[in-house]
Structure formats: structure tokens, C-alpha cells
Structure 1
């Protein structure tokens, strides 16, 4: 495949396609619950015996694309190299490039230098992103407080402030 063939492409939903049929088939197949048998998925051609088995991760991509298109969303497929620039890493994380540089310099994301440029491996960046999300969810959970309808509003607000301060201390590395 040429480099020109590996370009970002956006696909729009097309109600004229048999997308609903594919979507329904995929849903029905998953609901069937084939027990301990590992599911196998095939891509079939027009000729008899013209088929190839799809790996599970490729099936997951196909499933996500079909679900999105069936719901009326456009889907963009953007090939990426496994080595990213700091700007590409920033775009993927949804932060600024200086923020990524700071993360690299603090050792939060591994990187390698190519001359004066930093390069980040995509798997390392995805691992960091998942860890960051887990930390964010944990912080949200830490701020949750059970509220009793009978409890005084000032007491509830005080407990919420204490929980927020505790999260702030943990974030700054001042664990209790």
C-alpha cells in the first residue's frame, strides 16, 4: 500500500446502504451468546470460498464504525504512525504542545530524542491517557458525598469542601 493510500478519510452515513442489515446482524450475533465458543468473524467476497477471517481487534473497529454510521454519525479513519511528534501527541490528548513537553520532561510519558526533537510512542501515550482517565474518575468518586435529606446544608457543603481539598492535596503529592 502506498503512503498516499494511508490518508485520513471521513465516511458519512448513507441511508441507501444496507447498513441497518449489517448493524442488525452484528447485534443479533452478539446477543445470541454462543457460550464459551470464541466468536469468529469473516469478510466474504462474491466468489464461493472467497473469505478471510477478521482478527478480533479489526472486528471491534468494524463494529464501532457500523454503530456510529447506523446512528447517523460521520466516521473519520486517520492512520497514525507508531511514533508521534509532540504536536501529534497533544492533539491526541486534547492538550497543548507545551503541556505534552512538560509531561515528557516530568517523566510521566516515556519518549525518545531524535536530534533535538522528542518522539513519543503511540502505545505509551495511550497507556498514559488511560491512566489519566482512571485518576480523573477516582478523583470524581473521591469527591462524591452521600447526602442525607435530613442533614444540614452547611454540614454537607463543609464535607464537600473537605473532599475537594483532599483531592487537591493528593494531586499535589501531599498525601495524608
Structure 2
């Protein structure tokens, strides 16, 4: 497997505006077309060319547009891509030493290539998802405790 570069696309003001305009149209399309392939019309000047893409690609496009519309940088990394520890740390927004600790503790799967660690992007994203669920659960529990104690 090869190591994937994680180079985000940072939207400028024009891109943010275009993404914000396109997002509701893509979301509306997905709501109206719930099954099968999505048909996207790509227009180049006066000529229109029809392109058929998998629904998952259109769903991914909607997520990308949502982030761009909010001014966030976006990168797309295949789940099977191998990341360096620095890339994985950046994806999680943690320091490299902290990530190494997670790897050594068995929280995220990795393999060694010589003396270097390689981490599957899918493993990093699975860890991120588990942690998001754990944090959300803890926040819900705190909110419930606050309500029980009439602190809200």
C-alpha cells in the first residue's frame, strides 16, 4: 500500500459562496432521489454533458460542500490509504506524540514498515468516530445530571 498525502483544499470567499449556493440543491436532489445512481449534469459552456455517478459520490459531494460552505478546509482520503503518524495526528488534530501513545496503547491499528509506523486512514476515522460517540454520551450524561440537580 502507498502512503496518501493529506493535502486539504482551503476554500476562498468565492468558493464558500458557490458551495453555499450548491449545497441546498444537492441535498434537495438526494432527498428526492433516494435510491440507485444519481445523474449529475455537468455543463461546460454551451454544451451539456451527462455523467452518471454512484449515489455515494453525490452524498460525499454534499458533505464536502457543507464543510466548504462553512469555510473549512476539506481533504478526501480513501479508507485504505496508509498515513504517516504526522498525517494521522493532523487528521485527529492531536500531537504526534499523543498519537504514538494511542497507537502503542492499541487504540488505533497500525503496522511497522522498518522503523516507521503506518496507519490506515479507516482505522483513524473509526477511532475518531468512537471518540465522538463517547464524548457525546458524556455530554448527554452531564446535561441529564444538571437537569436532575436543577442546574440548567
Aligned to 2:94, the other structure's residue is in SS state coil
Structure ranking higher on relative contact order (CA contacts 8 Å, 6+ apart): 2
Task: Determine if the alignment matches structure 1 residue 44 to structure 2 residue 68.
Answer: no
Residue 129 to residue 27, structure 1, CA distance change in 2 (3 Å) = closer
Displacement after TM superposition at 1:102 (Å): 0.9
What is the count of residue pairs matched by the alignment?
139
Q: 1:13-28 counterparts in 2 under 5 A?
A: 13-14=13-14, 22-28=22-28
Aligned residues: CA RMSD: 3.2
| TM-score, L = length of structure 2 | 0.69
Measure, in 2, the Cα distance between the counterparts of 1:13 and 1:128: 33
- Residue 83 of structure 2 corresponds to 84
Residue 105 to residue 55, structure 1, CA distance change in 2 (3 Å) = same
Aligned to 2:106, the other structure's residue is in SS state coil
Residue 61 to residue 123, structure 1, CA distance change in 2 (3 Å) = same
Aligned to 1:120, the other structure's residue is in SS state strand
Determine if contact 1:43/1:54 at 8 Å carries over to the other structure.
Answer: no
Displacement after TM superposition at 1:59 (Å): 1.2
Task: Determine if the alignment matches structure 1 residue 94 to structure 2 residue 93.
Answer: yes
- Residue 12 of structure 1 corresponds to 12
- Residue 168 of structure 1 corresponds to none
Aligned to 2:14, the other structure's residue is in SS state coil
Displacement after TM superposition at 1:98 (Å): 1.2
Displacement after TM superposition at 1:93 (Å): 0.9
Displacement after TM superposition at 1:92 (Å): 1.0
- Residue 148 of structure 2 corresponds to 147
What runs of 5+ residues in structure 2 fail to find an aligned partner? 1-5
Determine if contact 1:41/1:59 at 8 Å carries over to the other structure.
Answer: no
| Cα deviation code 1:65-121 (max 9, x no counterpart) | 44455x5x4353435471111111111111111111111111111100011111100
| TM-score, L = length of structure 1 | 0.61
What runs of 5+ residues in structure 1 fail to find an aligned partner? 1-5, 150-155, 157-176
Aligned to 1:60, the other structure's residue is in SS state helix
- Residue 153 of structure 1 corresponds to none
Determine if contact 1:110/1:120 at 8 Å carries over to the other structure.
Answer: yes
Which one has the largest radius of gyration?
Answer: 1
Measure, in 2, the Cα distance between the counterparts of 1:135 and 1:19: 31
